[in-house]
Structure 1
């Protein structure tokens, strides 16, 4: 696999942290690196106040400076890396989606400046996670952690590609893999509410272990060198994953695409991880059935 790792660059400390993370990954994987700055000329500039041509020239100058600054970070990691620099006038999300077509990874920071402002706020993050054609990694945390890779397994095909990606990451890093399957039976909880005897969740727990085992079986055979720790918990997925994220080097979740987060990362869970996980988060898209 020779597709590059693509990093969104906007001059923010968070973006530079993402550049460092991506550079280390590129060295470890033996992959090329591509640094991208996308900017769009603001719409609705007051007439006579700012010349759009002047604004565009200033944005390009600033973008070029940010790219050169990011290149210095790359060289700090490895003098052998020669990153491609791409400066473009375009809307950020469509530009990065296009870049992801021929990328191994798409890497971003958590807080942006310039064209990347608000990139991980609300629907924009959901849109990018659902539309990117390669795994999206959001680099969180102040310092790298050399712990396990954590993957959320929801028992459906949605997490299949996420599991594959997590095994490959654990193998490349020589790390353990913690596979987390969170389940809750809200209907049973309601039925048992108010009953004096303790509820029997053992059958559901056993089914959850079986589901997790089925999802991991083939991948354990493919990556026998990876030590797998199975965690089955009766809890909400976001809480379960965040508990394990504290000592993790990476948390991996899946999405079905279509611009929305599904399955394990349905609704608030994926956004909660993107905003609050203390380590990098990878969102791996599974192509929809239709």
Structure 2
């Protein structure tokens, strides 16, 4: 059955949840201003309520209706939107993004997704939409329609198949508050790309005091059932090795045989899920270079392993 943008917009207006494709991961979406619908997302995911949600908007004009942007925020929006960058800025309108969605904060996280279908649905709805990853809390994010349906499809009134997610890891999150830009969560928009626009960022993970404003910062997150071992040179008995680089491990499980970080990011959560279905004693992952997009991949892997250092 084909679902139109108008059908999805009506479901959101009725307070129902929608499986929504984005370029990063699949989201479980609801009207950002409807506290009852937002509560249904937290219940479906088993998500802690102190963990804020990102408001997805159709364009920068809609973003500035809910958030106060300074010159730095506007420069970032112009450089990277539509796309996988989330900007945390002071709240302008608390009715459009309810307190529960913001975890009661005086800031709001907003982004314009790069996926054309997602933007079309949000534009048809006419208001911000929260859309955290469509997985049960703590699990690997779904990057295929089938995985999204398996995780939380029973809670959604409408399910949109937008194909496989091109990016494969959640958006980069930066805060733009009090004239300072801080990296709260690494993603496919890299530190180097952001610094080319706004200059040096606060060092990630060194106590900039704003981490609570971003989703996805729990120590154990993105985790399959099997234990994850990172920076592994080889698999132990019973483990599956997710290799990176030429000739590393079984090609079936490689994140990128060519050693390409974008390919590795796109494959990361899908490979973790596929390996987990084999019920191994553990999932080992080859070392991933720390630069560029490798910062985001390593962040997700450390949290999947329950280690953040």
Give the TM bin, normalised by the shorter chain: under 0.3
Higher share in helix: 1
TM-score by length of 1: 0.25
Greater gyration radius: 1
